[in-house]
Amino acid sequence: MQPDPISPRARILQALAADPRTRLLHGHRFRAAEALPWILAVVAYFAFDTYLSLGIAVLIAVLFTLSLDLVIGYAGIATLGHATMYGFGAYTAGLVAVHFTREPVTGLFMAMLAGAAMAFVTGRLFLHLRGNTLIMLTLAVVVMLSEVANKATSLTGGEDGLRGVVIDPLFGIYKFDIWGRTRYWYVLVTLFVLFLIARRIAHSSFGFALQGIRENDRRMSAIGSPVPWRLLVIYTIGGAFAGAAGGLLAQSNRFVGLDVFSISTTSTVLIMLVLGGTGRLYGALVGAAIYVMLHHFASAINPFHWMFVVGAVLILTVLFAPAGLFGLIEKLSSPLNRRAR
């Protein structure tokens, strides 16, 4: 009799991977590897303290991408308008700091609220639509708001951007210094808290319902899931997260530029998500981090060459790695796949 070439451990892993219930029942448990990005983020603070502003940009991009993952990756809402909520949150946090209070946490909450409100209203209007029409409408809102922000110069500063965003020390103690030490921790802790919430949502029954809707919305309706309501709820939550990302951007840059509402912002966040991989939360982390860091160093050399590379990578991703970088890693390292080769 031939000895079985597979080790008992691999066989157990295989059985677990083959059983669809495994993911549903055990997905919410924390695995050791999940601590890795956060350890990296803390290590980066001490190891690369001259690059803190880049680190902050990475963390904000991760949050923004994460918010889109909830909407696209989990609920499958094909939107090209996520910059709407991001920009709205950014301007809200900026205006709150200029006109009302310089207290950062209040500004952040207002930004989240603004993002959520914007998402709720546009979601109410648009989410019953599908496909091309939805993509165009969401994109049109971004461009329209950019036009509004451009023309309302007395409020937004127009093309010069909103200046004079000054933030008080965090909790009255930690000053926002020019090196970005406080800002880094502020953004990292915000991201961590919101990530835990997103993770909880993703592994809740609500999160499973969303994935069901993503796969087949008619069937979900047929088994009694309130599809439009669920979509609106996740769209609003995603809006709040995107608003938070915009708010953090305004507070840490002390400035809001017109480009928060732009086709480029709204497509970049999609690119970051897809490069990392949709519908897995960690894809957003990997995609945004790699994109922003590469962008920082490559576009310093030549912004047009950078565009070429991103465009080409995007085309290749759609053709050859539809699940993104993270999907590729998963595929190469899964026990099932290892056996097959």
Partner 1 sequence: MDLFLNNVSFLIVDGIAYGMVLFVISIGLAITMGLMRVVNLAHGSFAAFGGYIGIKAVNELGVPFPVGLMIAFSGTFLVSIVLERLLYVHLYKASELKQVLMTVGVILVSIASFNLAFGAQSLPVKLPPYLTGPVDLGFREVPSYRVFLIAVGLAMMIGLWLLLDRTRFGAQIRAAVDNRHMAESMGIDVMRLFTITFALGSGMAGLGGALGAEILPLEPVYAFKHLLTFLIVVSVAGFGNIKAVAVVSLILGVIDTAGRYFVPAYGAFVIYLTMIAILLWRPNGLFSKT
Please give the backbone phi and psi of residue 162, each rounded to the nearest 5 degrees, phi first.
-85, 115
Q: Which of 125, 140, 120 is nearest to 80 (CA)?
A: 140
151 binds partner 1 (CB under 8 A): yes
Of residues 189, 307, 332, 336, which one binds partner 1 by CB under 8 A?
307
127 binds partner 1 (CB under 8 A): no
Q: Which stretch binds partner 1 (CB under 8 A): 12-20, 107-115, 240-248, 265-273?
A: 265-273
166 binds partner 1 (CB under 8 A): no
* Minimal distance, residue 230 CB to partner 1, in Å: 19
140 binds partner 1 (CB under 8 A): yes
Q: Which stretch binds partner 1 (CB under 8 A): 3-11, 47-55, 137-145, 204-212?
A: 137-145
Query: Closer to partner 1 at the Cβ: 141 or 167?
Result: 141
What mask, x for binding partner 1 by CB under 8 A, covers residues 52 to 91? --------------------x-----x-x-----------
Query: Closer to partner 1 at the Cβ: 113 or 135?
Result: 135
* Minimal distance, residue 220 CB to partner 1, in Å: 17
Of residues 15, 196, 312, 336, which one binds partner 1 by CB under 8 A?
312
Of residues 105, 113, 290, 313, which one binds partner 1 by CB under 8 A?
313
- SS3 for the chain, per residue? CCCCCCCHHHHHHHHHHHCHHHHHHHCCCCCHHHHHHHHHHHHHHHHCHHHHHHHHHHHHHHHHHHHHHHHHHHCCCCCCCCHHHHHHHHHHHHHHHHHHCCCHHHHHHHHHHHHHHHHHHHHHHHCCCCHHHHHHHHHHHHHHHHHHHHHCHHHHCHHHCECCCCCCCECCCECCCCCCHHHHHHHHHHHHHHHHHHHHHHCCHHHHHHHHHHHCHHHHHHCCCCHHHHHHHHHHHHHHHHHHHHHHHHHHHCCECHHHCCHHHHHHHHHHHHHHCCCCCHHHHHHHHHHHHHHHHHHHHCHHHHHHHHHHHHHHHHHHCCCHHHHHHHHHHCHHHHHHC
For 135-168, letters b (16+ CB in 10 Å) and e give eebbbebbbebbeebeeeeeebbeeebbeebebb
Of residues 2, 132, 205, 333, which one binds partner 1 by CB under 8 A?
132
321 binds partner 1 (CB under 8 A): no
Size of the site for partner 1 (CB under 8 A): 40
234 binds partner 1 (CB under 8 A): no
* Minimal distance, residue 244 CB to partner 1, in Å: 24
Of residues 19, 49, 147, 177, which one binds partner 1 by CB under 8 A?
147
CA 324 to chain CA mean position, Å: 15
121 binds partner 1 (CB under 8 A): no
43 CB burial (10 A radius; 0-12, 13-18, 19+): exposed
Please give the backbone phi and psi of residue 102, each rounded to the nearest 5 degrees, phi first.
-95, 5
* Minimal distance, residue 64 CB to partner 1, in Å: 17
* Minimal distance, residue 93 CB to partner 1, in Å: 24
139 binds partner 1 (CB under 8 A): yes
Of residues 81, 317, 325, 327, which one binds partner 1 by CB under 8 A?
317
314 binds partner 1 (CB under 8 A): yes
Interacting residue ranges for partner 1, rule: CB under 8 A = 72, 78, 80, 125-126, 129, 131-133, 135-137, 139-141, 143-144, 147-148, 151, 263-264, 267, 270-271, 274, 304-305, 307-308, 310-315, 317-319, 322
